[in-house]
Structure 1
Amino acid sequence: MTGRVRAPRSAALLTLFCVGASTALSGCGGGGGDDPDAGTNGVGKLSAAKIERKAKTAAGRAKAVRVSGNVVSKGQTYRLKMRLKDSGGIGEVSAEGGSTFQLLRTGRDLYLKAGTDFWARQEGGKKPGKSDIAAAAKLKGKYVKVPEQDPAYKQLSVFTDMDTLLDGLLAMQGKRETGERTTVAGTRTIRITAGKGRGGTMDVSLEDTPFPIRMRRAGGAGTVRLSDWNDSFTLHAPKKEETVDYGKKISPDQQSG
């Protein structure tokens, strides 16, 4: 304290203490110290179903998001590091036991960039020959445009489609209940559980907009962090010199490892 009052009365001293500690404590005396929702966006007072609904509504209205973590799909585990927006996405996908590749989609144009091992991989697990490896080496570090009619287009573009990916990630199964309050990456959250946690959990921000911050998917199908909501970023097609015409279909077996 820097004031020069020599002998403040106890009531005045308590008031000054409360003001000075307001950033660390939720209040003193009648200031709401027993209210766990003081200083929050208030969703903690709602039922689990209403919290989930608000979180999904906020996500549906968002213009951009960063998704990172593990996702299990059709028995295959993928590690995602993606930035998504309405018009497309960019980032990296790693297939467990397989290769790591980069995806870029702007509008309907989807591009794939990967290393030699990825392109040399053969359908059915056949060992690539010298000609396969030589051809694959020419694609290393280059973007390959995936034809829309190729089966791989639909499978890969899901990772770059904000609405579709979020619909899948935010799905839970079972009776909703309110769980613990915790902190995720410095953000205060409240947890919603489904099916006693077996149907998934959603940590919802108690600060500002009630965005979903972390999802643990039902049945152990992965955990993802959702961050940088509404943070704008630029998407543009790769330069002509950065692209190569692959000249044939990119099979799902190649990208799934």
Structure 2
Amino acid sequence: MTALPQGRTRRAALVTAICALAVTGATALTGCGGEDPDAGTNGVGKLPAAKIQARTRAAADGASAVRLSGTVVTSGRTYRLDMRLKSDGGTGSVTSEGGTFQLLRVGERLYLKADADFWTHADGSRGSAGKLDGKYVRVPQADPAYRKFSGFTDKDVLLDGLLTLHGALATAGRHEQAGTRTVRITGDKGAGGTLDVSLQGTPYPLRMVRAGDAGTLRFSDWNSDFTLTEPAPSETVDYGRQLPAS
């Protein structure tokens, strides 16, 4: 084998070192043989963090439907959510402090479905709990619970409240969520939350880690329509203007 001249050897070593640095920095340089991390993507990975955030918020706002799952910590209480949402309502489950209840909103009509334990009074008395076990209870709009629970079924309210990063925005490299390539943006170097945005197709948000250990959420089934159906009268209990105390 013919030996390379010393000058060519040094140049080759220098090119190798530069390419290694380029790969480490997730940057492809022409002639290094590395792959462009944005090849075949929607291109948002090339944008500054603030523009990525604006693009993903616009995509989320414009979507007709989404599935949201994960945890939200608020006022010292942890809620585990698994909700499917669209513009005219939503449905799914909420678990908090060991109890799980189902929510269904069709237009302005909100229903809550839970077992008898959910309706048991704080003093242990069961009252109407047996009658409400497994029934869809209509939540009156005048009841304070309506505003609290309807927020879990409102796509715009939930996304506005949850897709928020705090502090200075920055990008934090390429990642992957459920097989989809993403670019991650952060607030305050991660202390203000992190958001993974799809690099494939529409730049939808796919995973959110909220600031202050306030929960982790995943977003999927963007624009996948689903049917919201009112429960049958035989499955429904209507208390009029106020829910029973529980």
Counterpart for residue 44 of structure 1: 45
SS at match of 2:132: coil
> Does 2:201 correspond to 1:208?
yes
RMSD of Structure 2 on Structure 1 (CA) = 1.8
Counterpart for residue 150 of structure 1: 143
Counterpart for residue 99 of structure 1: 99
Q: How does 1:52-201 map to 2 (within 5 A)?
A: 52-95=53-96, 97-120=97-120, 122=121, 125-128=122-125, 132=127, 135-201=128-194
Counterpart for residue 27 of structure 2: none
The normalised TM-score by structure 2 is 0.84
Q: Is the 8 A contact 2:45 2:183 kept in 1?
A: yes
Query: In 2, Cα distance between the equivalents of 1:70 and 1:227?
Result: 15
Q: What displacement does 1:73 show?
A: 1.6
- Per-residue CA deviations over 1:120-157 (Å, capped at 9, x if unaligned) read 1x2xx32225xx2xx21111111010000000000000
Query: In 2, Cα distance between the equivalents of 1:206 and 1:245?
Result: 46
Query: In 2, Cα distance between the equivalents of 1:162 and 1:187?
Result: 23
Query: In 1, Cα distance between the equivalents of 2:220 and 2:234?
Result: 33
Query: In 2, Cα distance between the equivalents of 1:164 and 1:103?
Result: 16
Q: How does 1:178-257 map to 2 (within 5 A)?
A: 178-246=171-239, 249-250=242-243, 254=246
Counterpart for residue 19 of structure 1: none
Letter of the structure 1 residue corresponding to residue 85 of structure 2: L
Large movers: runs of 4+ above 6 Å:
none
Query: In 2, Cα distance between the equivalents of 1:34 and 1:68?
Result: 34
> Where does the alignment leave 5 or more consecutive residues of structure 1 unmatched?
1-28
SS at match of 2:243: coil
Q: Is the 8 A contact 2:143 2:241 kept in 1?
A: no
SS at match of 1:138: helix
> Where does the alignment leave 5 or more consecutive residues of structure 2 unmatched?
1-29
Counterpart for residue 14 of structure 2: none
Q: What displacement does 1:181 show?
A: 1.1
- Per-residue CA deviations over 1:94-121 (Å, capped at 9, x if unaligned) read 01x242100000100000000010011x
Aligned identity (percent) is: 59
Q: What displacement does 1:34 show?
A: 2.6
Q: Is the 8 A contact 2:67 2:83 kept in 1?
A: yes
